[in-house]
Amino acid sequence: MSTPNDNTPPTLTAPTTATTTAASLTTTVPTTTQPDFTPRPTPTPSPDIEALLAQMTLEEKIGQVMVIGFDGPEADNGLLEMIEDYHVGGVILFARNVESPRQVAALTNALQNAAALSTAGQSAHPGLLIAIDQEGGRVARLTENKGFTEFPGAMALAATGDVENAHRVAQAMAAEMRAVGINTDFAPVLDVNNNPANPIIGIRSFGSEPELVAEYGVAFVDGLQSGGVLAFGKHFPGHGDTSVDSHVALPLVPHERARLEAVEFVPFKAAMRANVAGIMSAHVTFPAIDAMPGLAATLSPKVLTGLLRDELGYGGLLVTDSLEMGALAQSGYPVPVAAATALQAGADLLLFNRDHTLHRTAFREIQTWVQDGRIPESRLNEAVRRVLQAKAAFGLFSPEMVDVALAEATCGTPETKALSRAVADQSITLVHTGSPAALPLAPGSKLLVVETPAANGLGRELDVPFIVVDEQPTRAQRQSALSMARDGRTVIVAVADASRFSEQVKLVEAFVKTSSPVIVVAIRTPYDLTTMPEQATLLATYGLNPPTLEALLRVLRGEVLPQGRLPVTLAD
């Protein structure tokens, strides 16, 4: 299946029986209902960084370069010990730590209070980086079922064709994060996703063109940072052209340096020029930069120092991706050794998941490496200096406690939800009009929904007959689904990773043979649509979280026209 080179969406005509006009079915982002996203001012006067650094003990310095995760919705004794006795510089929150805006606000207050009360030698704790992975779309820890607002992800934002949407969404995210005491977001993804088989980036990327990713990435960075949240672009030097998940094993990007300069580096360079607070490294190997076999960029001095610092001149923070990921362990670097090696190579912040025993072991490993000279103390000082400078720039020294009651009122507001829905409406993309044309659905149409588990209850939300099949539908499931396609029903098939699960394609082909109108909705990656028969009408949603699901429903019902444009190139 091929798509037009200009990515222009096919023309849709509104139903002749509808009372609304086509113009009224086109969604625009409201400008009068935007909440006030005024960033917090930086406290003055700024601290004397060099004087503070000179007062810090070795243990305090090591702690400042560690960002750690933990279990549960409250600060446990192990976490408090890591803050008070090991002086960790940051904490990362995952979905397991989030219950509600009020709970997160109380949690972050408790963490910052513990940091403020911890002292060693002559220096006080300079405040915590409290971080999260809040990209939008499929990677979101602050979700609507917990009282926050969810937004379409990166590729959906790019599909709207309006770069201001990236800025607006990031500002809205920043407002909710700051309301609950989160000051650091490991976003946006700056990877150029030009590999259809990429199992981990995909719709987390803005698209397949370097300039587009750069434009939307910079807008997202500015939206977060104007809202008082440190943004971290990821995953340097680029994770978009890989076919291996670095959570499991070590991917390799084989391209020559000229190709990396023309594609992978472009968004990162743009973000650096835009003063992005931080860059996250990739657990990916790049032989064109460092020829040592099996050495991930996260552990490579040639990547972190030679390329990022010396050649590109980047002076902001450099954080590792999570050090527990399989790419490092499978390459012979257990977490403590990976942590020390990354710091030695040029990282400023070391990112850990749960397990305080592991955190303490890594701390001691770094301490040993510094004491025996494998990590010069000047390298550690350089990292800590950058951490302190970033905290000072974003007002994190002696941070104010957040208002727990106000947090509840600030998150998940009608204004931010209206923004997320308006953007989602603009993102749904009609990739191909089938034969017979199936959109827009005529009033009273008889429907059947066939969905994979990732479809988020599409059939239930449409209130029509539906069947849920496995990712790899069985023969029995296919026969059951086909038996339900009767009376000229329009069949809506929600596919996810169909390029890997070929039985989904066979199921669609079987429906086409029945002569029923078929609508295929790619709910994970638009690349799935390249495998579908031309008789089917093809829609891309770039995810299916609450705002996107609602937008899809409106498109299917003819309440909104699909306005999106593909941000990736689909091969023939």
Catalytic positions: 247, 321
The continuous run of DSSP H or E covering 515 comes out as: none
Integer Cα distance of 203 and 216 in angstroms = 14
Report H helices in 227-264: 257-262
- For 568, counting Cβ atoms within 10 Å of its Cβ (0-12 exposed, 13-18 middle, 19+ buried), the class is buried
Tokens of 530: 């390249």
Q: At a CB cut-off of 8 Å and minimum separation 6, what does 543 contact? A: 137, 138, 152, 153, 155, 156, 203, 523, 524
Q: Are 169 and 177 in contact (CB under 8 A)?
A: no
Q: For residue 525, how many other CB atoms are within 10 A of its CB?
A: 26
Buried b (16+ CB within 10 A) or exposed e, 465-495: ebbbbeeebeeebbeebbeebeeebbbbbbb
The CB-side HSE value for 299 (13 A sphere, CA atoms) comes to 26
Integer Cα distance of 527 and 521 in angstroms = 11
The CB-side HSE value for 143 (13 A sphere, CA atoms) comes to 16
Cis upstream peptide for 9 (omega within 30°): no
- Quick one: DSSP state of residue 453? G
Residues pairing with 281 in the sheet: 236
Report H helices in 148-248: 154-159, 163-179, 210-226
Integer Cα distance of 304 and 299 in angstroms = 8
Integer Cα distance of 345 and 318 in angstroms = 11
Q: For the chain, how big is the Rg over CA atoms in Å?
A: 25
Integer Cα distance of 402 and 388 in angstroms = 21
Task: Give, rounded to a whole angstrom, the gap between the first and last alpha carbons of the chain.
Answer: 5
Instruction: Identify how many contiguous H helices and E strands the chain contains and give both numbers.
Output: 20, 16
Q: For residue 47, how many other CB atoms are within 10 A of its CB?
A: 15
